Structure 1
Amino acid sequence: MATEDVPAVGHGEPRISSRWGQERRLEFIDFRLQWDGRINRSALTDFFGISTPQASADIAKYQDLRPQNMEYDRSLKVYVRAHEFAPAFPVSQPSRYLNELLATATGILPRDATFVGWWPSVAVAPFPSRRLDVEVLAALLKAIRSQEGLRICYQSMSRTEPTSRTISPHALGFDGFRWHVRAYCHLRDRFLDFVIARILRIDGTEASGQLQERDSEWHTTVTLKIAPNPGLIEAKRRVVELDYGMENGELEFRCKQALLFYCMKHLGLAADSGVKPEEQQIVLKNRAEVERFLPFRAP
Structure 2
Amino acid sequence: MPNLAPGGASSNQRERLWQIDFLTRFRGEVTRQDLVLRFGIALSNATRDFTLYRQLAPDNLKYDHRDKVYRRAKGFQPLFIYDCAHTLQTLTWGQGVGLEVCNQPILVESVPTLSQPDLDILAAISRAMYAAKALTIRYVSVGSGESVREIVPHSLVNTGQRWHTRAYCRVHSKFRDFVLTRITAADELDGLINAAVESLAQDHEWNREVELELVPHPRATYSRAIELDYGLESGQSIKLSVRAVMAGYLLRCWGVDCSPNATLQPDEYQLALRAPDWIANQVSLQIAPGFKNEKGL
Shift of 1:217: 1.2
User: Structure 1 residue 243 and structure 2 residue 229: aligned?
Assistant: yes
Give secondary structure in 1 for the equivalent of 2:152: strand
User: Structure 1 residue 292 and structure 2 residue 281: aligned?
Assistant: yes
2-structure distance, mates of 1:200, 1:260? 27
Aligned to 2:122: 137
What's the RMSD between the two structures over aligned residues?
Answer: 3.0
User: Structure 1 residue 253 and structure 2 residue 240: aligned?
Assistant: yes
Contact 1:143 1:150 in 2 (8 A): yes
Relative distance call for 1:111 and 1:237 in structure 2 (3 A) is farther
Shift of 1:190: 0.6
Taking structure 2 as the reference length, what is the TM-score of the superposition?
0.57
Shift of 1:295: 3.9
Shift of 1:287: 1.6
User: Structure 1 residue 150 and structure 2 residue 150: aligned?
Assistant: no
Taking structure 1 as the reference length, what is the TM-score of the superposition?
0.56
- Unaligned runs of at least 5 residues, structure 1: 1-18, 22-102
User: Structure 1 residue 193 and structure 2 residue 177: aligned?
Assistant: yes
Larger gyration radius, structure 1 or structure 2:
1
Aligned to 2:255: 268
Q: Deviations over 1:66-106 (max 9, x none)?
A: xxxxxxxxxxxxxxxxxxxxxxxxxxxxxxxxxxxxx89xx
AA aligned to 2:266 is: P
Q: 1:163 is matched with which residue: 140, 144, 147?
A: 147
Aligned to 1:224: 212
Q: Deviations over 1:149-178 (max 9, x none)?
A: 111111111113x11111111111100011
**Larger displacement relative to structure 2 (244-253 or 207-216):** 244-253
Relative distance call for 1:112 and 1:149 in structure 2 (3 A) is closer
Contact 1:192 1:297 in 2 (8 A): no
Segments ≥4 residues shifted beyond 6 Å = 107-111
Contact 2:258 2:276 in 1 (8 A): no
User: Structure 1 residue 212 and structure 2 residue 200: aligned?
Assistant: yes
The alignment covers a number of residue pairs equal to 191
Relative distance call for 1:150 and 1:135 in structure 2 (3 A) is same
- Unaligned runs of at least 5 residues, structure 2: 1-37, 41-84, 91-96, 288-297
- Quote the sequence identity (%): 29
2-structure distance, mates of 1:155, 1:118? 41
Shift of 1:256: 1.4
1-structure distance, mates of 2:187, 2:100? 39
